């Protein structure tokens, strides 16, 4: 399956979800993520701020701040992306993609865990929106890469390219996929 085909199929599946289904799924994803030892043990977390077509990450950001992790979120500049440290008092603005970005803050160079968005997935292979921002950002970083998605974004036989950075873990409301295999998300019952 090409990336374009995967994006089209996954976007259609997400559009078919009700607001209530997205909220429930987002809660199950957050609960599962917050129970992962890799997330719990992280001192610093880089996490995207979700849009309506993605799991809501506000609860995850709040949990990370509450547990005194260093939390950074993306800010795009040209073709690159930086991880900008935020606090509960950070101000945000909407960028050209209608995504919140911090107005001020310093760059976090190294992070323990990166929570990565995606449009479609096949196991630990992900397809993003097509800009390559996360692949470029993650290319030479030594951090754990955790993708979060709605289960309906799953596709089969996805063609990945050499520059596509694979995930280490993927969490949906129904499953958790790791390099060791797949297990049920007990919070999604």
- The ranges assigned to domains in the chain are 3-181
**Helix, coil or strand: residue 136:** helix
In a structure prediction context, what are the per-residue pLDDT tens digits for the chain, which is 189 residues long? 999 999 999 999 999 999 999 999 999 999 999 999 999 999 999 999 988 889 999 999 999 999 999 999 999 988 889 999 999 999 999 888 888 999 998 999 999 999 999 999 999 999 988 888 999 999 888 999 999 999 999 999 998 887 889 999 999 999 999 999 888 887 766
For residue 163, what pLDDT is reported? Answer: 82
Confirm if 118 and 149 have CB atoms less than 8 A apart. yes
For residue 188, what pLDDT is reported? Answer: 66
pLDDT in tens, 151-164: 999 999 998 887 88
For residue 69, what pLDDT is reported? Answer: 97
Beta-strand runs (E) in the chain? 44-47, 70-77, 80-86, 92-94, 100-102, 113-116, 120-122, 125-127, 144-148, 169-171, 175-178, 181-184
For residue 189, what pLDDT is reported? Answer: 62
For residue 132, what pLDDT is reported? Answer: 86
For residue 129, what pLDDT is reported? Answer: 85
| CATH of span 3-181 | 3.40.50.10420
pTM of the model: 0.93
Q: Is 157 left (phi over 0), alpha (psi -120 to 50) or beta?
A: left
Cα–Cα dist 101/105, whole Å: 10
The percent of residues above 70 in pLDDT, for the chain, comes to: 98
């Amino acid at each position: 399956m090409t990336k374009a085909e995967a994006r089209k199929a996954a976007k259609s599946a997400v559009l078919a979800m009700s607001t209530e289904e997205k909220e429930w799924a987002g809660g199950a994803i957050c609960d599962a993520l917050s129970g992962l030892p890799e997330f719990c043990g992280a001192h610093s977390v880089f996490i995207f701020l979700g849009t309506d077509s993605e799991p809501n990450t506000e609860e995850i950001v709040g949990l990370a701040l509450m547990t005194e992790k260093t939390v950074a979120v993306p800010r795009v500049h040209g073709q690159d992306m930086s991880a900008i440290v935020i606090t509960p008092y950070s101000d945000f603005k909407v960028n050209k993609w209608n995504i919140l970005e911090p107005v001020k803050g310093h760059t976090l160079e190294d992070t323990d865990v990166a929570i990565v968005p995606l449009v479609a997935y096949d196991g630990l292979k992900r397809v993003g929106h097509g800009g390559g921002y996360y692949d470029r950002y993650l290319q030479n970083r030594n951090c754990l890469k955790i993708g979060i998605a709605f289960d309906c974004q799953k596709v089969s036989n996805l063609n990945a390219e050499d520059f596509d950075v694979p995930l280490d873990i993927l969490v949906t409301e129904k499953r958790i996929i790791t390099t060791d295999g797949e297990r049920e998300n007990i919070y999604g019952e």
